[in-house]
Amino acid sequence: MKVYLDAVSTTSVDPQVLETYQKLLNEYYCNSDALYDDGVAIYDMQEKARALICKMLGVRKDELIFTSGASEANSLAIKGLALKHRDKKHLITSIYEHSSVHNGFKQLEEDFGFEVTYLEPDEEGHITPEAVKNALRNDTLLVSIMQVNNEIGAVNDIEAIAKIVKKHPGTYFHCDMTQGLGKLDLDLSNIDMASFSAHKIHGLKGSGALMKKEFVQLMPIISGGQQEYSIRGGTSNSLVNIVLARTLRIALENKEKYHDYLMELHDQLHDGLKDIVKINYDKGLITLMNIDTPIPSEVLLNALNERGIMVSSKSTCGSRKNEINRTLHYMGYDEDHAIRISFDYTNTEEEIDYFIKNLKEILDQYA
């Protein structure tokens, strides 16, 4: 039996998304910027998809830039804004952002002379609105705080943070919403920029978007032609962009449809684990749990892998790096013994049982 419990890392492609993509691939291949009919047809479909996505996100129909995923969206938002407005030197982020945010800030600090404040999570795992308020300065250009932390599932009060930043003239707010999309309610009214990724919501890999309000000026990070309002160059990945509209629609429909089912899986997992391991964090996203066991993470991952169970010990983007795990480190958890379990509506009760049973057996053998 194969059991995939790493939905935070990526998800399987929804059959409807796959079918739509395959159909489009069979029919269309022209460049969406070509001026003959077939090119224009693809361009029109892409712009229709952009408008539909914007409608679902509750923003204007031209406030979306298609990207290759959330890493690119984060890089464009953060570096694009900072490099465009070099008169302001202060930036605020949190210490537990995804590497595509964290390393962007490091680069701005080390190579471009910006000053960065890295906020630490409180005991509950949150970056508080008060912490953001206290860190703001007259020369603060940007605040970037993630909606949901991808290691422990902590959910930040983004609306409250966005309201505080909104009141501070000349400061922009960016939010990495990769792990919240399709799981939490969306309110982008006070958010200037937000990053999204398709493969976390049963879409295609290499697909994502940056929501950017009309008044936000960015320096292009990928130089090129007229594509994406001249902010993101390169021949458009039009069919993938078109399919993103369908992906998002399905994800938003499924958010309501599967909420109770996911809560049942959560409770089953929690009940099965609470007496056999230490639960590090289970106060945020219901589909993510971070646990600590007496077995070193790597040993446990391998033992579970041998039984067909896929979980991870930290963000997959850093899985081959030997750096400290910033989230677990600042939360005071044992980095060498932590395991992240995450699931979605494609998982079953039987799979959760299988995981718990096998984990118990491995723990017993190790004791």
8 A C-beta contact, residue 67 and residue 100: no
Separation CA 57–CA 157 (nearest Å): 18
Closer to ligand PMP at the Cβ: 154 or 303? 154
Closer to ligand PMP at the Cβ: 161 or 295? 161
Per-residue tokens: 212? 């950017």
Nearest to 207 by CA among 229, 174, 181, 172: 181
Q: Is 179 in the site for ligand PMP (CB under 6 A)?
A: yes
Kindly tell me which residue out of 93, 117, 144, 150 binds ligand PMP, with binding defined by CB under 6 A: 150
Q: Residue 40: helix, strand or coil by DSSP?
A: helix
Q: Is 69 in the site for ligand PMP (CB under 6 A)?
A: yes
Kindly tell me which residue out of 315, 325, 342, 347 binds ligand PMP, with binding defined by CB under 6 A: 315
Pairing of strands 115-119, 338-342: unpaired
Q: Map the footprint of ligand PMP across residues 222-241, applying CB under 6 A.
A: none
Kindly tell me which residue out of 176, 228, 282, 351 binds ligand PMP, with binding defined by CB under 6 A: 176
Separation CA 292–CA 38 (nearest Å): 55
Chain position carrying tokens 């994800």: 251
Separation CA 143–CA 152 (nearest Å): 21
Closer to ligand PMP at the Cβ: 295 or 301? 301
Q: Is 100 in the site for ligand PMP (CB under 6 A)?
A: yes
CB of 40 to ligand PMP, least distance (A): 29
Catalytic site residue from 30, 54, 175, 317: 317
Closer to ligand PMP at the Cβ: 145 or 277? 145
Which range touches ligand PMP (CB under 6 A), out of 15-23, 40-48, 257-265, 313-321?
313-321
Closer to ligand PMP at the Cβ: 88 or 98? 98
CB of 198 to ligand PMP, least distance (A): 7
User: Quick check: is 54 catalytic?
Assistant: no
Separation CA 3–CA 5 (nearest Å): 6
Q: Map the footprint of ligand PMP across residues 182-211, applying CB under 6 A.
A: 197, 199, 208
Q: Per-residue b/e over 55-87, b at no fewer than 16 CB within 10 Å?
A: eebebeeebbbbbbbbbbbbbbbbbbbbeebee
Residues 6+ positions from 109 with CB-CB distance below 8 Å: 91, 115, 116
Which residue ranges make up the site for ligand PMP (CB under 6 A)? Answer: 69-71, 98, 100, 146, 150, 176, 178-179, 197, 199, 208, 315-317
Active site residues: 317
